[in-house]
Every structure is written in structure tokens, then in C-alpha cells.
């Protein structure tokens, strides 16, 4: 019998994720309040480069989750392979850094210090892949350790020592190491056994499969930020974009409700849980999306009053952020039911025809189109001396259109395999209830919130108002929607189980 419980893992992951994000937000506020926009923009550029350099780790982590979910102990092989990939990643990053130091205003000292984030990020991803295979909820423990430890690190290096971008980098490095230690503890049972050279050789020989999805990621946010910086020459614009991404990051938390879907499907043919999990995902996702839209302006003010003008960007990105959550679930579902890698004699042609390859083709094409349209648009807008906000609105709108297109493509494909439907009545309830509650609270907040008060008082009142809205959302939907009652009852059941 499977040890993975989808709803249980989802609830644990979501709870841990919320706390981790709240802690990370405290760190982010420390950073945005202490760093100049140009400095925060520099950190955004560095983060973008790191984002696609560490993708090299997927060469092993992609297969590790699939192997462990099917009962194979490949953790030690994964760790050795990860060590080798870390070296390659650092070399690649350093080469890119020298180019960026010449082409942008990012200081070379910041770029060089950030090279230490390559091995920590790759090892962190490797351990997450191991734990995802059997205990998906454990990843939230690592995220908790990372988020909470960022606060004292930020206070020391950024606030008191005033180390600027270098302080941010050091804080993240130390927090990643702490997260690695936590995840290693839970993964220790899967790090036993012998190093299996044949498996590692297979993973590297199939790296074109594991890296193929990374093409879309490579052409995505990291490279887009770099291109934006080179064409516009604006680190302030990057700072606005990163601040907007921070605000909508709450939406990505909803994906934690489906953390266990991928490994659960890898274990066998049981698909009965998909319907309820999808509706639960909408229940949480719509809540977080409406919160981001309703209080996006307030959140930007908390980060730094100078970012309030980016509120229109937050609205566009919020809609896209919710679509990305559903898109990622659809991709996981499609690739999880693919069995081509179970046959050791599968040919290259069979892999090319498999969902491991074809699912990501459309996204890679969409990412390439987005990048092309971004470059064209930025060049044209630069000729008319457009403002940073005009640049960013165009960027956000292009991304949204492509995300909508990709969503419909995946939906058509997934309906051929999975027997589920969008429970439109429940979803409509979630939209109407959340819009009514948070629309009203947004109006009320303008009465009670004082933008001239201290940041602590402002945040405290904002948290209270948001908490009231969340409670009202849960209560009303519990009374009028059976799926909501199902989810709340699951939470109560798990709490009783823990108390025993």
C-alpha cells in the first residue's frame, strides 16, 4: 500500500510553505528597505543568472524522483553525480559573470561571491528530488528552515553590518546550507547502498531528456531579466519586476496542495484522487490570487514605497501566476504516467515520442516566442523613450498571453488520459466569495491603514485585515460548498491524528 497520502502531504506542504513565505517576506522587506533600487536590481540580475545555471542539476534530479518513487535506492548515485555537476555549474557561471560585469552595472565582486550559491542550490535541488520521491511533505521542512533562518541572517549581514548585495548573498548561502542539513536528515535512508555507475551513465546519456524542459526555463525569467537589463539599461526596472514577483509569490504556494500528485502517480495507476485534488487546488489558488490582487499595492508599499507604481504589473502577473500553477500540475500529471523509462531497452526514438519529451515542446516554443516578442517590443519601445513601467506592462502582457495559450494546449492533451472535470459550480463560488470579501476589505483597508505610520503598525493592521478575510472565505465556503467541507474535515482529521 502506498505511503504517500496526497491530501495529507498537500496540507503539510501548504502549512509549511505559508510560514516559510511569511519568513522570507520579512527577509525581503529587510532587503528592499535597506538596499537602493539599483542594488536590488543587481540582486535580481544575479538571481536570474543563478536560476538557469542551476538547471544543470536536473540531469540527475529529474530521474532520481522517478527512481525512488518506484522503490529504487539511488540517493548515493545522485549525490556523486550532483558533485560533478556543481563543478561544471560554477565554471559556467563564472564565464557568464565576466560577461555581465562588462555589459551591465552589476559589480563583479557581487557576481563572484554569488558563485558559491551554485553548489548549494544544486545540492538543495538534489535532496528535494530524493525526498519528493517518498515523503513529499518533507520538502516543506527544508523550506521552513530556509525561510526562518533568512531572518537572523538578514538582520546581521544586511541590516546591522550594512553589507548590501553581498550581505543578501551571504544570507542566502547560509540559509541554503541549513536547509540542506534538514533535508539530508530526512533523506538519509535513501543515501545508503552502492554507487551505481551504470545508472549515472544512463542519466547522463539521457540528459537531453532531463534538460529539455529546462530550455523553456532557460528562455524564461532569468534570461528575460538579463535581456531587459541589456536593452533598457535599467536596474530600477528590474527592481520593480522583482518586487512584483515577490508580491505574487504567495500564489505559487497553492501548488503545494498538489505536491504529492507526481510521486503518487509514479507509484501506480491510481488516478482517483485527481478530481478532488484539482478542486482543492482551485480553492486555495483562487484565494491567494485574489489576496495578491486586492492587497498588491499595500504589499509593494511594505517592500518599499517607491515600488507602489508597479501595482498594474502585479495585477497582470497574478492572473498569469495562477495559470502557471495549473500548468505545472498538468505537466506533472502527463509526465508521471509515462513509462518509457521503465524499459531499459527503450530507444531514442521512443523517448522522443514519449510525454517526457513532447509535453515540454510546446512550452519551449512558447518561451522562445515570448523572448522574441520581448526583444522586439523592448527595442521598439526604447526608440520612443518609454518609461520603465511601460516596458514592464508590455513584458507582463506578452507573458500572460503565452501562458493562456499553453494552458489550453495542455488541457486538450490531458483530457485524453485523465477522467476529470473542472467543477465549475464550486470554482464560481470560490471566485465570487473571494472577490466579495477581499473587494470589501480592500475598501475598508484604505480607511484603517495609515501610510504615514510606522512599518510595523502598517503590517500588523494589514495582517489582521487579511486574516479576517481568509477566515471569512473559509467559513462561507465551508457552509455552501461540499469540496470545501471535505478539505476542512481532512484538516480536522489530520489534527486529531497528530494529537494522538
What's the whole-number mean pLDDT along residues 396-412? 91
Q: Is 237 left (phi over 0), alpha (psi -120 to 50) or beta?
A: alpha
For residue 39, the 8-state DSSP code is: H
Residue 460 placed within a domain: no
Of 360, 354, 333, 359, nearest to 270 by C-alpha is 333
Residue 482 placed within a domain: no
Number of domains in the chain: 1
Residue 481 placed within a domain: no
Residue 150 placed within a domain: yes
Residue 273 placed within a domain: yes
Give me the helix-helix angle, 235-252 and 311-336, nearest 10°: 50
Residue 121 placed within a domain: yes
Of 217, 189, 187, 266, nearest to 58 by C-alpha is 217
Q: What is the pLDDT of residues 147-179, one digit of tens each?
A: 999 999 999 998 889 888 899 999 999 999 999
Q: Which domain holds residue 253?
A: 6-422
Q: How far apart are the first and last CA of the chain?
A: 23
- The answer to whether residues 355 and 201 touch, using CB atoms and an 8 Å cutoff, is no
Least confident of 138-152, 237-251, 264-278: 264-278
> pTM of this prediction?
0.81
Q: What is the pLDDT of residues 427-485, one digit of tens each?
A: 999 999 999 999 999 888 877 777 776 777 888 888 899 999 999 999 999 899 888 88
Is the per-residue pLDDT at 5 higher than 80?
Answer: no
Residue 458 placed within a domain: no
* CA 447/CA 442 separation, integer angstroms: 9
346 SS3 class = coil
Residue 306 placed within a domain: yes
Is the per-residue pLDDT at 305 higher than 70?
Answer: yes
Amino acid at each position: 500500500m502506498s505511503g504517500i497520502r496526497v491530501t495529507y502531504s498537500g496540507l503539510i506542504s501548504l502549512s509549511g510553505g505559508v510560514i516559510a513565505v511569511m519568513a522570507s517576506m520579512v527577509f525581503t522587506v529587510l532587503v528592499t528597505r535597506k538596499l537602493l533600487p539599483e542594488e536590488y536590481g543587481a540582486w535580481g540580475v544575479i538571481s536570474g543568472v543563478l536560476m538557469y545555471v542551476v538547471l544543470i542539476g536536473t540531469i540527475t534530479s529529474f530521474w532520481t524522483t522517478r527512481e525512488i518513487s518506484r522503490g529504487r535506492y539511488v540517493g548515493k548515485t545522485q549525490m556523486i553525480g550532483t558533485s560533478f555537476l556543481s563543478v561544471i555549474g560554477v565554471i559556467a557561471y563564472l564565464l557568464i559573470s565576466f560577461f555581465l560585469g562588462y555589459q551591465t552595472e552589476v559589480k563583479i565582486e557581487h557576481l563572484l561571491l554569488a558563485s558559491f550559491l551554485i553548489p548549494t542550490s544544486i545540492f538543495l535541488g538534489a535532496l528535494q528530488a530524493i525526498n519528493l520521491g517518498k515523503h513529499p511533505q518533507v520538502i516543506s521542512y527544508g523550506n521552513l528552515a530556509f525561510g526562518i533562518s533568512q531572518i537572523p541572517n538578514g538582520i546581521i549581514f544586511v541590516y546591522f553590518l550594512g553589507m548590501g548585495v553581498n550581505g543578501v548573498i551571504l544570507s542566502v548561502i547560509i540559509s541554503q546550507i541549513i536547509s540542506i542539513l534538514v533535508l539530508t536528515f530526512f533523506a538519509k535512508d535513501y543515501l545508503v547502498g552502492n554507487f551505481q555507475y551504470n545508472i549515472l551513465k544512463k542519466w547522463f546519456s539521457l540528459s537531453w531528456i532531463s534538460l529539455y524542459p529546462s530550455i523553456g526555463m532557460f528562455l524564461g525569467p532569468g534570461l528575460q531579466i538579463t535581456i531587459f537589463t541589456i536593452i533598457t539599461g535599467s536596474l530600477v526596472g528590474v527592481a520593480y519586476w522583482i518586487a512584483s514577483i515577490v508580491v505574487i509569490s504567495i500564489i505559487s504556494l497553492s501548488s503545494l496542495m498538489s505536491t504529492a500528485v507526481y510521486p503518487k502517480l509514479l507509484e501506480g495507476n491510481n488516478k482517483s484522487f485527481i478530481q478532488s485534488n484539482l478542486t482543492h487546488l482551485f480553492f486555495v489558488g483562487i484565494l491567494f490570487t485574489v489576496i495578491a490582487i486586492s492587497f498588491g499595492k499595500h504589499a509593494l508599499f511594505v517592500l518599499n514605497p517607491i515600488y507602489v507604481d508597479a501595482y498594474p504589473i502585479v495585477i497582470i502577473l497574478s492572473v498569469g501566476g495562477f495559470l502557471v500553477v495549473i500548468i505545472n500540475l498538468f505537466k506533472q500529471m502527463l509526465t508521471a504516467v509515462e513509462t518509457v523509462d521503465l524499459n531499459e531497452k527503450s530507444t531514442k526514438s521512443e523517448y522522443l515520442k514519449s510525454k517526457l519529451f513532447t509535453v515540454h515542446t510546446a512550452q519551449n516554443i512558447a518561451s522562445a516566442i515570448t523572448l522574441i516578442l520581448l526583444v522586439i517590443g523592448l527595442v521598439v519601445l526604447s526608440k520612443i523613450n518609454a518609461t520603465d513601467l511601460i516596458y514592464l506592462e508590455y513584458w507582463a502582457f506578452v507573458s500572460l498571453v503565452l501562458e493562456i495559450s499553453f494552458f489550453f494546449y495542455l488541457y486538450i492533451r490531458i483530457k485524453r488520459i485523465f477522467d476529470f472535470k473542472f467543477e465549475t459550480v464550486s470554482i464560481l463560488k470560490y471566485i465570487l466569495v473571494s472577490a466579495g470579501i477581499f473587494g470589501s476589505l480592500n475598501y475598508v483597508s484604505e480607511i484603517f491603514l495609515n501610510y504615514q505610520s510606522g512599518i510595523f503598525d502598517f503590517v500588523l493592521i494589514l495582517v489582521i485585515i487579511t486574516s479576517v478575510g481568509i477566515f471569512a472565505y473559509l467559513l462561507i465556503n465551508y457552509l455552501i460548498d461540499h469540496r470545501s467541507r471535505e478539505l476542512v474535515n481532512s484538516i480536522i482529521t489530520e489534527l486529531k491524528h497528530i494529537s494522538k
